Amino acid sequence: MRSTELTLAEVFRQNGYVTGCFGKWHNGEHAPEDPNSQGFDEFLGFCAGHWNNYFDTDLQHNDRMVSTKGFITDVLTDAALNFISQHKTKPFFCYVPFNAPHSPHQVADRYFDKYKAKGLDDEQASIYGMVENVDDNVARLLTKLDQLGLAQNTIVVFATDNGPNGHRFNGEMKGIKGSVDEGGVRVPLFMRWPGKIRPETRIRPNTAHIDLLPTLVGLCDLRFTPANPIDGRSLAPLLRGQTDTLPDRMLFTHVAGMSADGLPAEPGAVRTAQYRLVQQKGQIHLYDMLDDPSQTTDLAARQPQHVQTLQTTYEHWFRDVSQTISLSRPVPVADRRVLLQAPEAHFSGKVRYKQGNGWANDWLINWQSPADSIWWDVTVDRPGVYQLSLQYTAPTAAVGTLLTITATNKTLQQTIRASFDPPLTPSPDRIPRKEVYEKPWAWLALGKLKLPAGHHRILLQARSVPNGQVAEVKALLLTALE
């Protein structure tokens, strides 16, 4: 996320609220894109698409990593409960984005065994077990509000992420995670504000996540002057019972995919109150979502006028939002300590990712010769002298390899003098995972470099490789010395 975007946390903090985030932050892991830079006074969780282990894991607490004890969803809830208790006499904004039931499939026996006993396979039992654990922790949050006497004056918003990451029950909707069909994007949204929002109130007009900011601004009477246009609209009049309708509108969905030719316009979709237009694999589909919510009948050939209207509007929207987009941006160096992760690196030669896709927590392997290169493009906003350290593992054959690291036309050299090649960390997965497992890592001090403000490329190479093997690379750490 661009750091110039204004978050809910920033808006609430500007209005005197204490703000906390406890869970998954997938909007940037470095300042000024990390949670503390984007309006949160306190953060406990991880800044990545997924996490490797859910029991007794290390999590980020503001600007440092801490060890935790217990299951990750319970740990995050504990932190949120402590935050609420600590600030019970102040206005607060508490954001709890649980990562479960995302893989890896790890969950306590009592949850897993319950659903295995119902006849589900290991994957489904894990997922349903994690969901029930989330339910239990949401109950803990609601109970805490009751115990502190805060329930009547606290707005609770409950929503989920995207569709399921595989084919399982999805409310008879077509599509899964990554799809622009209804089942890939439609999620539940529940709001509770006793005494202010009437129970059983149902919002029937088209709504989306983009409506949350203007809605909460309206419900909480916040001062808010947006610097950029706001696409969402306030649902406060609907929630307050002042009206039960809003003008129809088009909601747009696009799945971004990397391409050498830029950002492709599809898969994409348009949703109105009645229709969903789906554009993917060079084909156009139209569905009447009122008569056919499971998208079984394609109406595109029968209603070309509707197709033309929706497709033209989608193309205009896509051109508008993509004209200044950058698929790959330099990593900001704006803090005293910046960990450049392997998934943020570029590479050439025979180097590749361990898992293959370069998802969160992945690392680089197959570094074999001086012809291979690894580099990070960075934008230095905090100029100064930095200590550079490589997080790596290396087999015995790598001992004696001479590494070089170059930036701003200056080169450092360091030799791998000892092997460090531990096994993978045991993980209590219920089924084999698609993502990488974890393992211990060693650190190799590479030396000091002065990084002036501006854009730089930090290039890692091996000058001599006596035995045809270099190292596996997890990250490059920059630590400011002044």
Give the tens place of pLDDT for each residue, 271-303. 999 999 999 999 999 999 999 999 999 999 999
Mean pLDDT of 71-81: 99
Is the C-alpha dihedral spanning 366, 369, 371, 373 positive or negative?
positive
SS3 string, 127-174, reads HHHHHHHHHHHHHHHHHHHHHCCCHHHCCEEEECCCCCCCCCCCCCCC
Mean pLDDT of 240-268: 88
Mean pLDDT of 6-29: 98
Instruction: Using pLDDT thresholds of 50, 70 and 90, give the confidence band for residue 167.
Output: confident
Q: Is 251-322 a CATH 3.40.640.10 domain?
A: no
* Positions of CATH 2.60.120.260 in the chain: 331-480
Instruction: Using pLDDT thresholds of 50, 70 and 90, give the confidence band for residue 152.
Output: very high
Give the tens place of pLDDT for each residue, 390-420. 999 999 999 999 999 999 999 999 999 999 9
Output the pLDDT for position 260: 60
Is residue 259 pLDDT above 70, yes or no? no
- Pick 331-480's CATH classification: 1.20.1090.10, 3.40.50.720, 1.10.3720.10, 2.60.120.260: 2.60.120.260
Strands 42-46 and 18-24: parallel
Rg, Å, the chain Cα set:
25
Give the tens place of pLDDT for each residue, 423-465. 999 999 999 999 999 999 999 999 999 999 999 999 999 999 9
Mean pLDDT of 22-31: 97
Instruction: Using pLDDT thresholds of 50, 70 and 90, give the confidence band for residue 258.
Output: low
Mean pLDDT of 325-348: 95
Instruction: Using pLDDT thresholds of 50, 70 and 90, give the confidence band for residue 227.
Output: confident
* Positions of CATH 3.40.720.10 in the chain: 8-239
* Positions of CATH 3.30.1120.10 in the chain: 251-322
Output the pLDDT for position 299: 99
Q: What percent of the chain has pLDDT over 90?
A: 93
Q: Across all residues in the chain, what is the average pLDDT?
A: 96
Mean pLDDT of 226-244: 93
For 48, 108, 245, 262, 374, the CA distances from 390, given in Å and listed in that order, are 20, 35, 58, 32, 12
Instruction: Using pLDDT thresholds of 50, 70 and 90, give the confidence band for residue 147.
Output: very high
Q: DSSP labels for 25-89?
A: --S-SSTTSSGGGGT-SEEEEESSS--S--BS-EEEETTEEEE--SBHHHHHHHHHHHHHHHTTT
Given this structure, which CATH class describes domain 8-239?
A: alpha beta
* Residues facing residue 255 across a β-bridge: none
Mean pLDDT of 71-98: 99
Output the pLDDT for position 28: 96
Output the pLDDT for position 326: 81
Is residue 257 pLDDT above 80, yes or no? no
Residue type, 306: H
Output the pLDDT for position 413: 97
